[in-house]
Amino acid sequence: MKTIEIDDDLYAFIAGQTKHIGESASQILRRLLMTDSVEDTSTSAEAAEPVADTPAAEPETAPVEVKKAAPKAKASSKAKSVEADASPATNVVATVPANADDDALLKQVNPDALKQFDKRVDQFLYILQQAYVLQPAEFAQVETIKGKNRKYFATSKEELLATGSSTNPKAIPDSGYWVVSNNNTAKKLAMLSQVLQILGYSDKVIASVTETFSAQ
């Protein structure tokens, strides 16, 4: 395994692409890069099919069909790719309103707001608190975020301790919810990304919030 150094903004972007808790940076990059490679190969193969299938008995119309077939194959491939990429997001936010106030969250979560906290965990809790304040009813869905053998959110400290004595639960201020806090910055970024996805925030806002958090 090789170790590389990356800028904070790139680190935040990679963390923002997390689709499930526990996904490593290597897995995220492999998914993003390898998917593009597979799609390009698939598109080329689909574009070639119309040429092979063109009936020999119709040579006059064959050039027209070939020229039109290639763009259509690409469009079809892209459409399938968009649908495949959109499906997970649709499943995540299907039960939440589509009116998440992006501007309101960005107004509360900014570098100046986070600088008032000396500890990273307190910044983490502050962002979760703001997400709760803006969508208290929908916030209950964060309890569906789980790891392999533990829950990450609950309405009591005891519930989180039951999944592991080293979880170090912390109360999200003024919310009635608790969150596991014994994880590194990368895991906290992944958790924030998934919370904001569940609450229906745009990818742009999720990237902005995670970048602001990672830069502190």
Within this chain, do residues 82 and 149 fall inside the same structural domain, yes or no?
no
Q: Are 197 and 142 in contact (CB under 8 A)?
A: no
Number of domains in the chain: 2
With respect to residue 2, please indicate whether it lies within any of the assigned structural domains: no
Q: For residue 17, give every residue at least 6 positions away whose Cβ sits within 8 Å of its Cβ, in sequence order, or none.
A: 28, 31, 32, 193
The parent domain of residue 165 ranges over: 102-214
Smallest CA-to-CA distance from 150 within 136, 164, 166 is with: 164
CA distance 214 to 212: 6
Q: Are 109 and 209 in contact (CB under 8 A)?
A: yes
With respect to residue 19, please indicate whether it lies within any of the assigned structural domains: yes
pLDDT in tens, the chain (216 residues): 666 767 766 767 777 777 767 677 777 777 777 765 445 545 544 544 444 444 444 444 444 343 444 444 444 444 344 333 433 333 343 344 445 789 999 999 999 999 999 999 999 999 999 999 999 999 999 999 998 888 999 999 999 999 888 899 999 999 999 999 999 999 999 999 999 999 999 999 999 999 999 987
CA distance 62 to 56: 8
CA distance 140 to 155: 9
Within this chain, do residues 106 and 185 fall inside the same structural domain, yes or no?
yes
Within this chain, do residues 83 and 164 fall inside the same structural domain, yes or no?
no
Within this chain, do residues 137 and 191 fall inside the same structural domain, yes or no?
yes
CATH at residue 121: 1.20.1380.10
Q: For residue 73, give every residue at least 6 positions away whose Cβ sits within 8 Å of its Cβ, in sequence order, or none.
A: 43, 46, 47, 49, 50
With respect to residue 3, please indicate whether it lies within any of the assigned structural domains: no
With respect to residue 1, please indicate whether it lies within any of the assigned structural domains: no
